[in-house]
Amino acid sequence: MSGTDNTTAGDRGGAIDMSQFYRVFFDETAEHLAQMENLLLGIDPAQAGDEELNAIFRAAHSIKGGSGTFGFTDMTEVTHELESLLDKARKHEIVLTIEMVDALLAAGDVLKLQLARHRGEPDVAEPPVAEVCARIRCFVTGAAAPPVVSPAQAEAPQPKRALKIALPAPPGEDTLNKLFDDLGQYGEIEARRIEEGVCTFQFNTAASAQTLNDVFAFFVDPDAVRIEIAAAPAEDPGYGFFTDPAPAAAADPGYGFFVEMPSPPAAQPASPDAVAAPSPGRRASDRAEAERVRAGRRDTDKLVVSAQGDNASIRVGVEKVDQLINQVGELVITQAMLAQSVAKLDPALYQNILTGMSDLERNTRDLQESVMSIRMLPIAFVFNRFPRMARDLAAKLGKQVQLKMEGEATELDKGLIEKIADPLTHLVRNAIDHGIESAGKRIAAGKQEMGTVTLRASHQGGNIVIEVCDDGAGLSRDRILAKARERGLPVSDDMSDHDVWRLIFEAGFSTAEVVTDVSGRGVGMDVVKRNIAELGGTVEIEAATGVGTRIIVRLPLTLAIIDGMSIAVGGNVYIIPLAAVVESLQAASSEVKSVAGGGRVVEVRKEYLPVIALRDVFPTGETAAETTRSIMLVVESDGVKNALLVDELLGQQQVVVKSLETNYRKVPGIAGATIMGDGRVALILDVPALVQMSRH
């Protein structure tokens, strides 16, 4: 079989399209880089354990192996330096320092940039390769200061070549061994000889002359070193066998055998329970599979099964998951419509159908929950970027800050994860920049020098609650009130603390004394609040001056299904998200009063709430019947209450949210649409937007 394959094997081998493996390599590398960064952030350099060091080394080593195999030599170059330093560290030849960890982290950043470029991401910055490599190299060779390497002098990776080197043997065997140790970082040394005070050896290396000179300079006068390209350039076959009677010239084929390699071994003796011989047709199907894979993979169809011990997982395209969620949403609607029709049947006659419907409802709900959970990911995906960010930011500001995280396993919808990252980043930066005081101030205030920022996530009801807490300076009530007055905002001295803190969410608001380039230009908090509101969430601040600040973000677990109150206005059905509803009431005409300017207010327990007549917002041309009692829904948004005047309250139910924007276009005041049990379309109201609209 293999025999007849020879020609095709050779052709196919040479013609294999490696790019089909790139995506897996990129994903793998990204994981290794993330792991490397986490490990580096977590180690205590002076007391780094062997396990940790080995794990970091392995991550770098894996990246190097893959990048070399698939031809990403820029990444190979950087990982080679990383590996050298890490290898020395794990062999305890050197002790890690904070500076080395910083250099390693910087190398990781460079690799990330290189990876982004290879992935084809737009606008990727130029990775400072030469700088970072030099930085690491000087730790490896023990040089005092990193040589400043300008891009022009940057060393281009050379192909591997065989050199014959002769140098005056330095006094002492130790020195010579150290020299070979250092050289060994850059290639393989062979055929060492010392004759009459001159040491000669063969050196297979890809390092540049500059690099080698740097190494030699430590031990001998570089001018006394003679380097020649070996006469017969070592054709490196890249493999070997351990007892192959190799030709005397000992050219390294790149592989080798330890034992005699007989001609193709005899066929394995067939044992009674041998695995059934694969049918001849199998090769054809292998070939067909290869053709299909090569013919151009459809990204969304790429299925990679990786069994990692007890953690089997499958990669699936996001589009497939969204389609699945969509279809299950349709199923829920269909089931609701069916339930409504069936509800009219006589229970005595149709008991089986009614029982079946009840089972169907339960099954559908279970299916829905399972499908929604596919898109749920732990919030660790967002939290994970913060330790690094906090470390860098604290260092930049000269503060001591530790970041604690709780509840990283709390899950939320993938779409939310992507959108919550920016607002959370701003909150964490704020906490470090404005919240935590400088070490001096903290000590003066009787606090510990090290400030703490805590990120906490948990599920409460149908929401995910994310807290960003710091034990910093809290908020200054006076400064905020002063600033508010400055900006002409309506404030009074007897406002509650809660209301004062909320002023921070006003646009352009910042009481930062010094505008750092990090945060404090005053464009932050209002944008954060808006972003969170767009996700259907809320954000609140709690603070105690001198003690600390706590920001609480609440988000619905999913955007696709909400609890709503259905109402009728002008013959149409609308849904109001239950989260926005405070209460419903029937107001007598005497309780509804007109206000100068044409509006109306309703008195509710000594409070006057503006009335928004939905009939006016969504006119249908029908004239309203005169009623003595007005049905109102009190809604709250942005901490402000309004009363929506409606024709009828219909009920309360869970609805599947369909996007109006994707199916039609964006309509102000409308958050989405759904299909009711009777098949009619109901529009879901965007309460904050409605309130805004009614003010104009």
Partner 1 sequence: MAKTILTVDDSASIRQMVSFTLKGAGYGVVEAVDGADGLEKAKANDVAMVLTDQNMPKMDGLTLIKSLRAMPKFQSVPILMLTTESGDAMKSQGKAAGATGWLVKPFDPPKLLEVVKKVIG
User: Segment contacting partner 1 (CB under 8 A): 271-279, 417-425, 448-456, 530-538?
Assistant: 271-279
Q: Is 241 in the site for partner 1 (CB under 8 A)?
A: yes
Enumerate the β-bridge partners of residue 226: 166
Q: Are 464 and 553 in contact (CB under 8 A)?
A: no
Q: Which of 98, 258, 318, 366 binds partner 1 (CB under 8 A)?
A: 258
- Interior angle at CA 375, CA 124 and CA 553, nearest 5: 80
Please name which of 438, 458, 434, 456 lies closest in space to residue 447, comparing C-alpha atoms: 438
Q: Which of 95, 288, 304, 640 binds partner 1 (CB under 8 A)?
A: 304
Using the minimum distance from each CB to partner 1, give the nearer residue, 1 or 144: 1
Q: Is 62 in the site for partner 1 (CB under 8 A)?
A: yes
- Compute the least distance from the CB of residue 257 to partner 1, in Å: 3
User: Segment contacting partner 1 (CB under 8 A): 284-292, 365-373, 458-466, 551-559?
Assistant: 284-292
Q: Is 662 in the site for partner 1 (CB under 8 A)?
A: no
User: Segment contacting partner 1 (CB under 8 A): 107-115, 170-178, 272-280, 354-362?
Assistant: 272-280
- Compute the least distance from the CB of residue 206 to partner 1, in Å: 12
Q: Is 267 in the site for partner 1 (CB under 8 A)?
A: yes
**On the CB side of 86, how many CA atoms lie within 13 Å of its CA?**
31
Q: Is 277 in the site for partner 1 (CB under 8 A)?
A: yes
Q: Is 69 in the site for partner 1 (CB under 8 A)?
A: yes
CA 195 and chain centroid, separation = 59
Scanning 295-413, the segments in alpha helix (DSSP H) are 318-342, 351-374, 380-383, 386-397
Q: Is 404 in the site for partner 1 (CB under 8 A)?
A: no
Using the minimum distance from each CB to partner 1, give the nearer residue, 65 or 233: 65
Q: Is 49 in the site for partner 1 (CB under 8 A)?
A: no
- Compute the least distance from the CB of residue 685 to partner 1, in Å: 48
Q: What distance in Å separates the CA atoms of residue 407 and residue 467, rounded to the nearest whole number?
A: 10
Using the minimum distance from each CB to partner 1, give the nearer residue, 254 or 508: 254
- Compute the least distance from the CB of residue 260 to partner 1, in Å: 10
| Torsions phi, psi for 670 (to 5 deg) | -115, 130
- Compute the least distance from the CB of residue 281 to partner 1, in Å: 12
Q: Is 247 in the site for partner 1 (CB under 8 A)?
A: no
What's at 62, amino acid-wise? S
Q: Is 629 in the site for partner 1 (CB under 8 A)?
A: no
Q: Which of 194, 288, 293, 507 binds partner 1 (CB under 8 A)?
A: 293
Using the minimum distance from each CB to partner 1, give the nearer residue, 236 or 322: 236
Using the minimum distance from each CB to partner 1, give the nearer residue, 70 or 574: 70
Using the minimum distance from each CB to partner 1, give the nearer residue, 229 or 304: 304
Using the minimum distance from each CB to partner 1, give the nearer residue, 22 or 219: 22
Q: What distance in Å separates the CA atoms of residue 519 and residue 434, rounded to the nearest whole number?
A: 8
Q: Is 290 in the site for partner 1 (CB under 8 A)?
A: yes
**On the CB side of 443, how many CA atoms lie within 13 Å of its CA?**
6
Using the minimum distance from each CB to partner 1, give the nearer residue, 152 or 295: 295
- Compute the least distance from the CB of residue 194 to partner 1, in Å: 18
User: Segment contacting partner 1 (CB under 8 A): 142-150, 288-296, 319-327, 427-435?
Assistant: 288-296
Q: Is 388 in the site for partner 1 (CB under 8 A)?
A: no
Q: What distance in Å separates the CA atoms of residue 551 and residue 472, rounded to the nearest whole number?
A: 13
Q: Is 34 in the site for partner 1 (CB under 8 A)?
A: no
- Compute the least distance from the CB of residue 658 to partner 1, in Å: 38
CA 617, 622, 627, 631 dihedral sign is negative
Tokens of 86: 């890490």
Q: Are 562 and 654 in contact (CB under 8 A)?
A: yes
Give the chain's radius of gyration (CA, Å): 35
- Compute the least distance from the CB of residue 133 to partner 1, in Å: 19
Q: Which of 18, 482, 507, 624 binds partner 1 (CB under 8 A)?
A: 18
Q: Is 306 in the site for partner 1 (CB under 8 A)?
A: yes
Q: What distance in Å separates the CA atoms of residue 447 and residue 637, rounded to the nearest whole number?
A: 38
User: Segment contacting partner 1 (CB under 8 A): 98-106, 234-242, 387-395, 622-630?
Assistant: 234-242
Q: What distance in Å separates the CA atoms of residue 216 and residue 228, rounded to the nearest whole number?
A: 15
Q: Is 157 in the site for partner 1 (CB under 8 A)?
A: no
Sheet with strand 629-637: strands edge to edge: 581-588, 629-637, 640-646, 607-613, 600-604, 592-594
Q: Which of 181, 210, 255, 320 binds partner 1 (CB under 8 A)?
A: 255
User: Segment contacting partner 1 (CB under 8 A): 265-273, 392-400, 469-477, 660-668?
Assistant: 265-273
Q: Are 367 and 328 in contact (CB under 8 A)?
A: yes
Q: Is 242 in the site for partner 1 (CB under 8 A)?
A: yes
What's at 144, amino acid-wise? A
Q: Is 284 in the site for partner 1 (CB under 8 A)?
A: no
- Interior angle at CA 574, CA 569 and CA 578, nearest 5: 120
Tokens 């982004």, residue?
A: 116
User: Segment contacting partner 1 (CB under 8 A): 87-95, 304-312, 341-349, 572-580?
Assistant: 304-312
Compute how many residues bind partner 1; rule: CB under 8 A: 68
62 Rama class: left (phi>0) / alpha (psi -120 to 50) / beta: alpha
What is the secondary structure of 99-120 as a DSSP string? HHHHHHHHHHHHHHHHHHHHHT
Beta pairing class for 376-378 and 311-315: unpaired
What is the secondary structure of 127-196 as a DSSP string? P-HHHHHHHHHHHHHT-SSPPP--GGGPPPPPPPEEEEEEEEPPSSHHHHHHHHHHHTTTEEEEEEEEET
**On the CB side of 354, how many CA atoms lie within 13 Å of its CA?**
9
Q: Which of 98, 173, 198, 257 binds partner 1 (CB under 8 A)?
A: 257
Q: What distance in Å separates the CA atoms of residue 640 and residue 694, rounded to the nearest whole number?
A: 13
CA 543 and chain centroid, separation = 30
Q: Is 35 in the site for partner 1 (CB under 8 A)?
A: no
Q: Are 567 and 647 in contact (CB under 8 A)?
A: yes
Ranges within 429-458 binding partner 1 (CB under 8 A): none
Q: Is 68 in the site for partner 1 (CB under 8 A)?
A: yes
In three-state secondary structure terms, 543 is strand
Q: Which of 157, 170, 222, 256 binds partner 1 (CB under 8 A)?
A: 256
Q: Is 664 in the site for partner 1 (CB under 8 A)?
A: no
Q: Is 313 in the site for partner 1 (CB under 8 A)?
A: no
Q: Give the interface with partner 1 as residue ranges (CB under 8 A).
A: 1-3, 5-6, 8-10, 12-14, 16, 18, 20-22, 24-25, 28, 58, 61-62, 64-66, 68-70, 184, 188-189, 236-242, 244, 252, 254-259, 261, 263-265, 267-268, 274-275, 277-278, 282-283, 286-287, 289-290, 293, 304, 306-309
